Chains A and B, each alone.
Chain A
Amino acid sequence: MLSGRNRPLTYATAFLVVAGFSFLLLARYRAVVHAQLPAPKELAVFSPQATYTIPLLETNGRMYVGLVDLLEPLGSLESMPRGKKLKLRFNPAGGRPLELELQDGKDTGKVHGEKLKLPANFVLQNGRGYVPLSLVPDLLPRLGLQPIEYHAASQRLFVGNVVERYSAELKKGNPSRLLLGFSTPVNPTVATEPGKVRLTFRRDPVVAATDRVHYDDPLITGTAYSEHDGIAELEITGSAPLMANFADGGKTIIVTAAPGPPTTQQVQQIPVPIPQTAASLPSPVPRPPRPSFLVIIDPAHGGTDIGAAITPRLPEKDVVLALARRVQHELSARGIASSLLRNGDYAIGLDQRATSINAARPALYIALHAANTGKGVHVFTALLPTENTAPDSFLSWDSAQAAFADLSGSVAGSIAAELENRKLPNATLPAPLRPVNNVAAPAVAVEIAPPGQDTDEIASAPYQALIAQSIAAGVAAVRGKLPEVHP
């Protein structure tokens, strides 16, 4: 037994030993956990229909990509999981419908009846099909999508004739100017530091013909092009501070000497697609022209917030993301510029959503929801007490939408009329819904429900296409009534 004098000391020692041992175990466990958590990887897809990123799934040491995530923005898609089998009916834009059949755990499948060999087994998880990433460049042409250019190292996939190979021309003079020419407007992030300008292309399908170019010029000494993690970067180096200017509606970027030497490192950002912090950042770089009529489409929920469980395997967040892409496509077809607030599976808080929307200063905001309650489509405006507030005066955060109630009502009515034209059951109602209440612009929320008894029909391509057409046609019909917003 312990002597009375030594007992406290022994207990304390024992406690310290146990605590230290536990700490070491915990530290080791944390180190193991962190070592096992890989950085999230994504595939960046550039196509005429949409530019988007898809999270990649690592299984058995291989990268897999979700078929629905990949194909949905590229055409009409119906996914029909049955047991271990998955059947997809895909109709590429302007092409003929094709069927793809795959089975969980098998490395063979069928494309329109013809055999398809996979480099590894197909994976079906929770009704979602995943194929090895390396299959994608071979699979897409067989689904009527070509040409395909895949940059495996940087995980950039170009579908269709979208690759933008820019031209670079050095105009010698005092000062010299480097003219970067693009066939369509581009919107890179621009970062400057002494002797360097870095252009980062996240949403533009920019590709360089040559990685490194050296110029025999006293000011601009060279360019270096690189790609990684779905983005392309072009670094222009010089012997003096440089700056970039946009010209020709964003089709030309002019790099030349900055007016004065900066005293400290300067970094200017042009955020895309929603300029959340643009208002607070002084920037000598003229921003590429932003459309004065911009519609923000907000597929609700995302990430761990799945929204309503339409069926056990069909969460609201997926249904509305697919619908949002269709609405964007339909708006684009009508010459209306739009931006998705969420273009992937990630969570955004209600206040964060409202902040982003208001910072973007849209001409119209459309929130998209889905539920298995009721039937057809419900178009909502904000349910707020009537306030006689001018839109250009100080607006309360909780009731900012009240100042736009009339315009929002016009949009809702127009969308409802288009739904009616397409014989879709619909109703227009006010609703206590955020972030609509906080939006300082005309705003509506659209909630879709199954058209009949079959709940799965809510995700069917024809049904969603009809709704997307109605929304886009409704917006186009009232476009003249909505004030344009000049940034």
Chain B
Amino acid sequence: MTRRIVIIFAVLLCVAVGLGIYAWHLRRKVTAEEQRLNQQAQTEAPPANGPTSTITLYLASDANATLYRKQITIPLPAERSEQARAVLRALFGTYLQSGSPHPIGAGADIREVYLLNDGSAVVDTNQTFADTHPSGVLAEELTVASMVATINANDAHIGQVKIIVNGNERETLAGHADLRRFYPAANMVQLAKELQ
């Protein structure tokens, strides 16, 4: 009986060690995949399909706490929520360039934009965007204001915007800007004007 228990214990121990090695292997695989996706997102350009259109971006500058308007031409998809996503990805693309006056973390991306019937938009950003965003009241406010003003400048029907992270509500962007609320576009456009 004792010998059997020892054998079974040894077998169970071997299984546990084997599972541990397998879990470690999976973790490495997931990490490598995340890195690959991040690198892909970093270099990813706005979608190339669809006719090109001129869009307006509200770009932030940390040094002098301003937002300024800039028009660029990008290919735009036909569907409204895809358009909003393309516009915000173009905004992020500008911030991700080296030497950006308002840098955000490498790999930051827009996962989806959901448009509701009441004129609300819910912008789903990836986890990297929030986790790597520079922390500070001003830095976070400029990001939120530029996102809301930009999305409204290119689709006037969007009256308020909420930002979520990886499909979930988050208390603050990086410790400061409140992400639990909808931002009225009118408020942020007014703020953008004050900051120009």
CB contacts (< 8 Å) of A350 on chain B: these are: 171-172
Given A307-B175, A308-B135, A373-B139, do A432 and B5 touch, yes or no (CB 8 Å)?
no
User: Is A13 interfacial (CB 8 A cutoff)?
Assistant: yes
Counting chain A CB atoms within 10 Å of each CB, which of B12, B144, B176, B195 scores highest?
Answer: B176
- Docked complex Cα distance between A375 and B65 (Å): 9
A119 to B144, CA, bound (A): 53
Quick check: A10 and B1 within 8 Å, CB to CB?
yes
Contact of B137 with A437 in the complex, beta carbons under 8 Å: no
Across-interface contacts of A398 in B (CB, < 8 A): 181
For A10, list chain B residues within 8 Å (CB): 1, 4-5, 8
Q: Is A162 an interface position by the 8 A CB rule?
A: no
Contacts of B62 in A (CB 8 A): 373-374
- The answer, among B63, B134, B187, for a CB contact under 8 Å with A308, is B134
CB of B125, distance to nearest CB on chain A (Å): 16
Which residues 405-447 of A sit at the B interface, judged by CB distance below 8 A?
427, 429-434, 437, 445, 447
Is B191 part of the binding interface, using a Cβ–Cβ cutoff of 8 Å?
yes
| Count of A-B residue pairs with CB < 8 Å | 97
Give B194's nearest chain A residue, CB to CB. A429
Evaluate contact between A385 and B136: CB separation under 8 angstroms. Answer: no
Which residues of chain A are within 8 angstroms of B181 by Cβ–Cβ distance? 398, 432
Contact present for A380 and B12 (CB under 8 Å): no
Knowing A17-B9, A429-B195, the reply to whether A371 touches B4 (Cβ < 8 A) is no
A12 to chain B, nearest CB (A): 11
A242 to chain B, nearest CB (A): 47
Specify which chain A residues have a CB less than 8 angstroms from the CB of B9 in the assembled complex: 14, 17-18
Q: Does B141 contact A (CB under 8 A)?
A: yes
Assembly CA distance A383 to B141 (angstroms)? 10
Contact of A18 with B171 in the complex, beta carbons under 8 Å: no
A308 touches B172 (CB 8 A): no
Contacting pair B137 A369 (CB below 8 A): yes
Which residues of chain A have C-beta atoms less than 8 A from B194's C-beta? 429
- Contacts A10-B4, A374-B65, A383-B191 hold; do A369 and B176 have CB atoms under 8 A apart? yes
Shortest beta-carbon distance from B74 to chain A in Å: 28
Binary interface profile of B, 176-187, with partner A (CB < 8 Å = 1, else 0)? 111001011001
- What bracket does the count of chain A residues touching chain B fall in? 35 or more
The answer to the question of A305 belonging to the interface, with a C-beta cut-off of 8 Å to chain B, is yes
With an 8 A cutoff between CB atoms, is A318 at the interface?
Answer: no
Q: Is the pair B172, A372 in contact by a Cβ cutoff of 8 Å? A: no
Partner of B183 from A432, A437, A449 at Cβ < 8 Å? A432
Q: B141 near A429 (CB under 8 angstroms)? A: yes
Q: Does B138 count as interface, using CB distance less than 8 angstroms?
A: yes
The complex places the Cα of A371 from the Cα of B175 at a distance, in Å, of 11
Q: Is A309 an interface residue (CB 8 A)?
A: yes
Contact: B187 with A445, CB < 8 Å? no
The interface residues of chain B lying within 8 Å CB-to-CB of A153 are none
Q: Are B177 and A432 in touch, CB under 8 angstroms?
A: yes
Give the residues in chain A near B5, CB-CB below 8 Å. 10, 13-14, 17
A215: CB under 8 A from chain B? no
Residues facing B in A1-31 (CB within 8 A) are: 2, 10-11, 13-14, 17-18
Is A378 an interface residue, CB under 8 A from the partner?
yes
Q: Is A177 an interface residue (CB 8 A)?
A: no
Residues of A contacting B63 in the complex (Cβ-Cβ under 8 angstroms)? 374-375
Question: Chain A's nearest CB lies how many Å from the CB of B75?
Answer: 32
Chain A residue at smallest Cβ distance from B8:
A14
A-B contact pairs, 29 of them (CB 8 A): A13-B5, A14-B5, A14-B8, A17-B5, A307-B135, A308-B175, A309-B135, A350-B172, A369-B176, A371-B138, A371-B139, A373-B138, A374-B136, A385-B184, A427-B65, A429-B138, A429-B141, A431-B138, A432-B141, A432-B177, A432-B178, A432-B181, A433-B137, A433-B177, A434-B171, A437-B178, A445-B137, A447-B136, A449-B138
Chain A residues with CB under 8 Å of chain B are 2, 10-11, 13-14, 17-18, 301, 305, 307-309, 316, 350, 369, 371-375, 378, 380, 383, 385, 398, 427, 429-434, 437, 445, 447, 449
Q: A350-B172, A430-B191, A431-B176 are in contact. List 15 more A-B contacts (CB 8 A).
A: A13-B5, A17-B5, A18-B12, A301-B175, A309-B135, A316-B135, A369-B136, A373-B134, A374-B62, A429-B194, A431-B141, A431-B177, A433-B176, A433-B177, A434-B178
